[in-house]
Structures are given as C-alpha cells and as structure tokens.
Amino acid sequence: MTDAARPDDPLIKGWCPGALRPMLSGDGLVVRVRPFGGRLRRAQADGLASLAAAHGNGLIDLSSRGNLQLRGVREDSFEALIEGLHGLRLLDANAEVEGRRNILTTPFWSVGDETEYLTAALTDALAKEDAPNLPAKFGFAVDTGDQPVLQRASADIRLEREAQGGLILRPDGAALGKQVDVNTAIGEAMQLAHWFAANRGTHKRMAKLLATGQSLPTGFTRSMQEQTYTPTPGLSEQGVLAGLAFGQLTAQTLAGLAKHGALRMTPWRMVLIEGAQDMPQLPGLIAAQDDPLLRIAACTGAPGCPQALIETRALARALAPHLPVGQTLHVSGCAKGCAHPNPAALTITGTAQGLSLIHNGRASDDPAQTGHSPHSILKAI
C-alpha cells in the first residue's frame, strides 16, 4: 500500500454532523440530534418521529455515541426542522457548544443520583465560554453506575468507579484514574480537557496522545474497575433494552416506542425504554439475545452514502444466518469503517475491485482475501 491516494480511497471529513451543522450525504442531509442527558422524554421522542417523517425520509440511525441521526432531510425543509427541534428543546445554544457536547451517559441511572447530576453539570460546563477548544470527535463518558458499562465505547475522558466504589476521573488509554467526588469531578474533568488541548499537538484523541509516552499530570493513581458487562436486549432495573438492527429505526417505530415510556440512548444499537416490563411488539426491534444481527455492524452503505461502494445492509442480513456463533462481523461500504472503528473478527470492506475480507481487523486493514462477490463472500466466511 502506497501513500498515493487510490481511486476508492474514502474522503475523511474529520467531523461528525450535528443539528446546527448537518452533513450532506447521498440521501440528503444528515441531521444529528444529541439528546440532553442521553434521554428523550416521551413527548420529545414522539415529536422527533414526526419531524423525521415530515422533513426527512423517515429513517433514524442511533450512533455509537448514543445520538440520533435523521436521514434524508431535504434542504428546503431544514429551517422548519430546526424550528421543530428548538420547540422540543433538543438544540444547543450554537454549533460550537453542540460540537463540544459529546457526552455518553450510562443508561443505568436513577432519578436524582450522581450520574444524572454529573451529566447535567458536565453539559453546563461544556457550554461555558471558557470551555476548552477540543477536536471534533473528542468525547466524555459518565459511566458512574454500580459497574462500568461504557469502557468499550468511544470516549476520551471518563468518569467511572474505582475498585473500592469511589469516583475516579480516567483519561482514555490510561489504566489509572484520579480520585474525585461529586463536587470536584466536573472541575477536574475540565482541567484534564484543558491539559489535553494544550499538549495534544496534532493528536485528536486522548489514547493516541498517551500512546506517545506523554506524561499525565500528577494524581492519577487509582485503579479502575474492569468492565465485565455485555449488553443484551431484555429487562433491566431501569426498564427494557430493545435492540435495533444496525442501529436503525423508522419514524413509525420511534413513535411507537414513545407510547411505552421515555427513552435512554446507548452506544450498543439499543434503546432503553424507561419503566417498561415487556418488549414492545414493534417493527425492527430485536428481542432475542442470540440474534446474530446484534453482532453485526453495517454502515448506511450505497446509495445513502456517496462514498460507499456496496449496499451494506442487504449483504449483512444475508450473511447473518451464516455468522459463526460468538463472532462479530463488520460490513463497511468503504475503508473508513464509520460503523465500527475497532477491529472485528470478520470485516468485509467494499472496494472498486470487489469485496475484501479481513480477519481480526478494521475496514482499512490489509485483507486476507479480496475481489469477492456477494455470493462468493458467503463461502469465505
């Protein structure tokens, strides 16, 4: 592989869409809504479903950061959509604040607990004028439930529990955290974010900076809990987790979910329905814990994404029954690997020469086999 660009090299934009800063894709504008606290009240969920149907193509993607992307939004409808989102109180003060508010919150919290307070306080801190200037994809995780559940999700600064149960602040990529409490956690998190901004050079993520050997400030000496939790659909203390194939749902399904309770977003292609005791019977929901679609990541693909070289989700559905038990599969329309930046047991990448098969790698890694058709790739996995 050479440094020269290949004909099928994807265009890396280096930023994610927002509501106030949408991104043009093959099916129209992508408008990303970031629910405050990772939660939609029932009226907000119902209203968002109506907006997605009225101003887009009715398809909504749940992202790996727990955000909702309205697809196919028409440019002549964008202003009306923004007005509707403002009425639902789903907008930040401006695009700069929106861009900084990359907060992922554990869905397992109770009203009035530390998680709810810390998420709200962090939201307020990131909206202030003195908030640090951070790269577009830099994010925070409030993972302060009884056990960590977000350590495999994308975040750069993490609030979580130490082995003894106290709060710690941990930079992503570091094994140790700094002891904090509910009163100091947000101030310390902002100081760490300012430290990263001052020392990052060209690095855009915390783990990449620490991998260079950059020394952290003093105080990071507390051991973290290791995550053992594996997300699966079903009943939890806070409600029911419902799976979504490829993280996508229709406006109709979102409106149906809103009838059952408020919704908490997750990075696992699942939504938690607050207070629910049973799985709703709605189109597109995954209830079975052994459904192979839960182990498959697939981006929008062609024609929805102009950079995709294959139709990803039809292929993923065809391969699902043949996926070996316990293995993960990533079907990527191009080498960017937007749907699953981390390695998967099996990755299929669309190229101008056909389908490439990669073992234990990312969409951009060198393939073990290439030039496959949708028919021949079935035999290869």
The angle subtended at Cα 338 by Cα 104 and Cα 380, nearest 5°, is 125
Question: What per-residue confidence (pLDDT) applies to 15?
Answer: 58
> 266: which 2 tokens?
């997750």
Of residues 306 and 145, the one with the higher pLDDT is 145
> 281: which 2 tokens?
């019977």
Model pTM score: 0.91
Whether 362 shows a pLDDT value over 90: the answer reads yes
What is the average per-residue pLDDT within 139-152? 96
Question: What are the tens digits of pLDDT across the range 41-74?
Answer: 999 999 999 999 999 999 999 999 999 999 999 9
Backbone angles phi, psi at 295, to 5 degrees: -100, 15
Mean pLDDT of the chain: 93
Contact indicator for 33, 1 with CB cutoff of 8 Å: no
What angle, 0 to 180 degrees and rounded to 10, lies between the N-to-C axes of helices 114-126 and 185-199?
40
Q: In sequence order, what are the residues at sequence separation of 6 or more whose Cβ sits closer than 8 angstroms to the Cβ of residue 40?
A: 48, 258, 262, 263, 265
254 — pLDDT class (breaks 50, 70, 90): very high
Q: How many helices (H) and strands (E) does the chain have?
A: 9, 22
CA atoms of 53 and 62, how far apart (whole Å): 16
Helix segments in 129-223, DSSP class H: 185-199, 206-210
The angle subtended at Cα 176 by Cα 266 and Cα 193, nearest 5°, is 65
Whether 14 shows a pLDDT value over 90: the answer reads no
Region for 247 from its dihedrals, namely left if φ exceeds 0, alpha if ψ lies in -120 to 50, beta otherwise: left
Question: What per-residue confidence (pLDDT) applies to 1?
Answer: 35
What is the average per-residue pLDDT within 364-372? 94
> 59: which 2 tokens?
């398809």
Whether 267 shows a pLDDT value over 80: the answer reads yes
What is the average per-residue pLDDT within 338-351? 92
Question: What per-residue confidence (pLDDT) applies to 13?
Answer: 52
Whether 299 shows a pLDDT value over 60: the answer reads yes
Region for 275 from its dihedrals, namely left if φ exceeds 0, alpha if ψ lies in -120 to 50, beta otherwise: left
Contact indicator for 167, 181 with CB cutoff of 8 Å: yes
Q: Which amino acid is at 161?
A: R
Whether 178 shows a pLDDT value over 60: the answer reads yes
What is the average per-residue pLDDT within 332-360? 93
Q: Which amino acid is at 98?
A: E
Handedness of CA 197, 199, 204, 209 (dihedral sign): negative
Asked if residue 303 has a cis previous peptide bond (ω within 30° of 0), the answer is yes
4 — pLDDT class (breaks 50, 70, 90): very low
Three-state secondary structure call for residue 311: coil
CA atoms of 233 and 236, how far apart (whole Å): 9
What angle, 0 to 180 degrees and rounded to 10, lies between the N-to-C axes of helices 251-258 and 42-55?
160
Contact indicator for 153, 159 with CB cutoff of 8 Å: no
Question: What are the tens digits of pLDDT across the range 219-246?
Answer: 999 999 999 999 999 999 999 999 999 9
Q: Which helix (H) or strand (E) holds 46?
A: helix 42-55
